[in-house]
């Protein structure tokens, strides 16, 4: 018995040793947009959040005077504290005691058997984080167009929804547009599980069966789908800006998609902390070189910075390439990490399938950074490599990380929206 216990403990320890660094390195080998942004050197305050100074416009005692004149009265510079809070991101791996015991004579066979499961869990976590990079922190995936309620029902999303955000096996919740009322069963872990996704027709079919949530009859047009449990905020002190990464939709915003109070700063009071948005009142318009140049100019006017970064989805890449079809200077390039990049006015034009449809983000990378307590890896801060679930012969390994995006100068960024997608 003692030998069995020792062997099991040894195997669990070796499993963690085998996978620890491998998992931690996974994001660097995956097309993960956050790899293009620097890690902030700011030290967390109390280990729980980061603060950065925001200098508001104002302050006098500057000017040109005759030599015998007094200068104007000095005014104190107006500083506001930006508060950036970390987010927690997890993926759970479960292994049975039988699998562990069966591997006593061949550890490598056991490692190979579990390799796919652990890699896939890490892959799906990173894939979801890549979607979150473009969101507003609250897990909204898109608006509902039509529904077929009931067991194994369907949800059709509105035109303009990025259907790359949905996948088989993913769980979603239905909410009212104001994100107040949950349409499917109240409580955590009560999401509808996706069975199939038709990206052309934008139809999502949910899994049928007594163990799965039905498409609720109350789900109506203008409601939205969210990541499962993205709206569960019963924890004391829950952040009103959500649980997920504060992505570009919130960071580059003029109080249109994101909250009025962003990273602890009221954007209606400190208007300098707003991002720039070029829109067409919801009416799709063709992309033009003039719109792109205007976006760069607005950033320069509002912040004094020259943007060095652009990112859009596959459709806007096609639109941009068509604008340059007869330009011999157009030279496609490859960019590290699996992204394809074009060039416009010496700016890198990155392309990511997860970017929202009908928009392009322009920005200065320096002012959008990763704030990291712990990167993705095996979580064993308490010292245990794997833990047995009470009253069961199952062991669990938790993969995860603690980090968020933070923007210290949103006015050095702009989102160009309401762009037509190619057929």
Please check whether residue 69 lies inside any domain of the structure: no
Average pLDDT in the 399-414 region? Answer: 95
Query: Is residue 389, in this structure, part of any structural domain at all?
Result: yes
Q: In this predicted structure, what is the pLDDT of residue 337? A: 41
Where is pLDDT greater, at 404 or 380? 404
Phi-psi region at 186: left, alpha or beta (left = phi > 0; alpha = psi -120 to 50)? beta
Please determine, for residue 329, whether its predicted confidence score (pLDDT) is greater than 80: no
Residue 407 has pLDDT above 60, yes or no: yes
315 located within any domain: no
Would strands 203-206 and 192-198 be described as parallel, antiparallel, or unpaired? antiparallel
18 pLDDT above the threshold of 60: no
Cβ neighbours for 8, distance < 8 A, ≥ 6 positions apart: 97, 100, 101
299 vs 106 pLDDT, higher one:
299
What integer pLDDT is reported at residue 389 of this predicted model?
87
Who has greater pLDDT, 244 or 64?
A: 244
Q: Is 96 within 8 Å of 394 (Cβ atoms)? A: yes
Residues 286-296: pLDDT tens digits? 999 999 999 99
pLDDT of 224 above 70: yes
pLDDT-wise least confident of 121-135, 342-356, 370-384: 370-384
168 versus 4: the higher-pLDDT residue is 168
d(CA 152, CA 357): 28
Residues in the chain: 423
Query: Rounded to an integer, what is the distance from CA 68 to the centroid of its chain?
Result: 58
Determine what percent of the chain is predicted with pLDDT higher than 90.
59
Mean pLDDT, the chain, whole residue set: 85
The pTM (predicted TM-score) of the whole model is 0.86
Tokens of 264: 């602890």
Q: Report whether pLDDT(361) > 90.
A: yes
Any domain includes 282: no
Q: Residue 110: its pLDDT value, please? A: 62
- Mean pLDDT confidence for 279-305: 97
Handedness of CA 320, 325, 327, 329 (dihedral sign): positive
Q: Please state the separation of Cα 130 from the chain's center in Å.
A: 5
Q: What is the pLDDT of residue 311?
A: 94
The whole-angstrom separation of Cα 340 and Cα 222 is 35
Q: Are residues 223 and 187 in the same domain?
A: yes
For 61, phi then psi, to 5°, come to: 65, 30
Residues 9 and 128 in one domain: yes
**C-alpha pair distances (Å), 411 with each of 153, 260, 263, 393:** 43, 15, 14, 54
Domain closes at, from 218, 236, 254: 236
Confidence band for 339, pLDDT divided at 50, 70 and 90: low
- Read off φ and ψ for residue 13, nearest 5 degrees: -65, -40
Bridge partner residues of 386 (DSSP): none
H or E stretch covering 297: helix 289-303
Q: Of 6-10, 119-123, 274-278, 340-344, give the lowest mean pLDDT range.
A: 6-10
pLDDT surpassing 60 at residue 399: yes
Q: Is residue 190 part of a domain?
A: yes
Residue 50 CA, chain-centre distance (Å), reads 19
Overall domain count for the chain = 2
80 or 361, higher pLDDT: 361
pLDDT band at 67 (very low <50, low <70, confident <90, very high): confident
Q: Give the span between the Cα atoms of 111 and 43, in whole angstroms.
A: 37
19 and 127 fall within a common domain = yes
Domain that includes residue 199, residue range: 140-236
Domain assignment present for residue 62? The answer is no
- For residue 96, give the H/E element and its range: strand 87-96
Q: Where are the alpha helices (DSSP H) in 30-145?
A: 97-102, 107-132
Q: How far from the centroid of its chain's Cα atoms is residue 242's Cα?
A: 12
User: Residue 38: helix, strand or coil by DSSP?
Assistant: coil
Average pLDDT over residues 126-144: 95
Same domain, 104 and 159: no
The total of other beta-carbon atoms located within 10 Å of residue 382's CB is: 6
Do 29 and 90 belong to one domain? yes
- Mean pLDDT throughout 382-407? 83
- Give the bridge partners for 262, in sequence order: 265
Q: Which residue has the higher pLDDT, 239 or 111?
A: 239
User: 3-class SS at 365?
Assistant: helix
Q: Identify whether residues 93 and 177 lie together within a single domain.
A: no
Q: Is the pLDDT of residue 328 over 50?
A: no
Looking at residue 288, its pLDDT comes to 96
Confidence of residue 323 (pLDDT cuts 50, 70, 90): confident
Q: Is the pLDDT at 165 greater than 90, yes or no?
A: yes
Q: Do 95 and 170 share a domain, yes or no?
A: no
Q: Is 48 a residue whose pLDDT tops 90?
A: no
| pLDDT given for residue 342 in this prediction | 76
pLDDT, mean of residues 91-96: 84
SS3 2: helix
Stretch 143-149: mean pLDDT, rounded? 97
- If pLDDT is split at 50, 70 and 90, which confidence band does 58 have? low
Q: Over 50: is that where the pLDDT of 6 sits?
A: no
The number of beta carbons lying within 10 Å of the beta carbon of residue 195 is 16
Helices (H) and strands (E) in the chain, counts: 6, 21
Distance, in Å, from the CA atom of 23 to the CA atom of 339, rounded to the nearest integer, reads: 21
The top-scoring range by mean pLDDT among 39-48, 95-104, 231-240, 278-287 is: 278-287
Which pLDDT belongs to residue 335? 44
CB 86 within 8 A of CB 404: yes
Are 13 and 126 within one domain? yes
Residue 111 in domain:
yes
State the distance between the two ends of the chain, measured CA to CA, in whole angstroms.
66
194, 217, 236 - which closes a domain: 236
Tell me the per-residue pLDDT of 25-44, one tens digit each, with 9 for 90 and over. Answer: 454 444 568 888 999 999 88
Rounded-to-integer distance, Cα 117 and Cα 122, Å: 9
* Domain finish residue from 188, 211, 236: 236
> What is the crossing angle of helices 2-29 and 107-132, to 10°?
40
Residue 148 lies in a domain: yes
Domain co-membership, 32 together with 125:
yes
Q: Kindly tell me if the per-residue pLDDT of 111 is higher than 90.
A: no
């Amino acid at each position: 018995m003692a030998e069995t216990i020792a062997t099991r403990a040894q195997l669990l320890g070796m499993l963690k040793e085998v996978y620890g660094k491998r998992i931690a390195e996974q994001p660097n080998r995956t097309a993960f947009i956050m790899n293009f942004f620097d890690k902030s050197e700011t030290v967390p305050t109390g280990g729980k959040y980061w603060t950065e100074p925001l200098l508001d416009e104002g302050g006098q005692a500057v000017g040109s005077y005759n030599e015998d004149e007094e200068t104007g009265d000095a005014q104190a510079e107006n500083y506001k504290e930006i508060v950036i809070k970390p987010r927690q991101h997890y993926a759970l791996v479960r292994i049975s005691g039988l699998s562990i015991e069966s591997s006593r004579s061949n550890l490598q066979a056991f490692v190979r058997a579990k390799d796919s499961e652990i890699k896939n869990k890490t892959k799906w976590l990173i894939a979801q984080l890549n979607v979150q990079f473009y969101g507003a922190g609250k897990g909204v995936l898109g608006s509902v167009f039509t529904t077929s309620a009931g067991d194994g029902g369907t949800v059709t999303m509105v035109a303009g929804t990025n259907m790359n955000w949905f996948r088989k096996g993913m769980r979603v919740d239905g909410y009212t547009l104001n994100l107040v009322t949950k349409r499917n069963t109240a409580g955590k872990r009560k999401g509808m599980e996706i069975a199939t996704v038709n990206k052309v027709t934008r139809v999502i079919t949910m899994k049928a069966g007594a163990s799965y949530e039905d498409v609720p009859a109350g789900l109506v047009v203008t409601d939205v789908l969210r990541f499962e449990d993205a709206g569960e905020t019963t924890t004391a002190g829950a952040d009103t800006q959500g649980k997920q990464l504060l992505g570009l939709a919130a960071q580059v915003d003029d109080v249109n998609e994101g909250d009025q109070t962003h990273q602890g700063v009221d954007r209606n009071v400190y208007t300098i902390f707003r991002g720039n948005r070029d829109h067409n009142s919801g009416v799709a318009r063709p992309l033009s070189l003039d719109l792109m140049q205007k976006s760069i100019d607005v950033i320069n006017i509002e912040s004094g910075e020259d943007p060095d970064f652009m990112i859009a989805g596959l459709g806007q890449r096609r639109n941009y390439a068509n604008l340059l079809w007869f330009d011999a200077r157009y030279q496609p390039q490859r960019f590290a990490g699996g992204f394809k990049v074009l060039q416009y006015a010496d700016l890198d034009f990155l392309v990511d399938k997860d970017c929202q449809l009908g928009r392009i983000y322009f920005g200065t990378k320096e002012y959008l950074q990763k704030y990291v307590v712990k990167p993705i890896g095996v979580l064993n801060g308490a010292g245990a490599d794997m833990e047995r679930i009470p009253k069961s012969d199952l062991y669990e390994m938790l993969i995860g990380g603690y980090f968020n995006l933070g923007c210290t100068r949103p006015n050095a960024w702009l989102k160009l929206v309401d762009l037509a997608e190619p057929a």
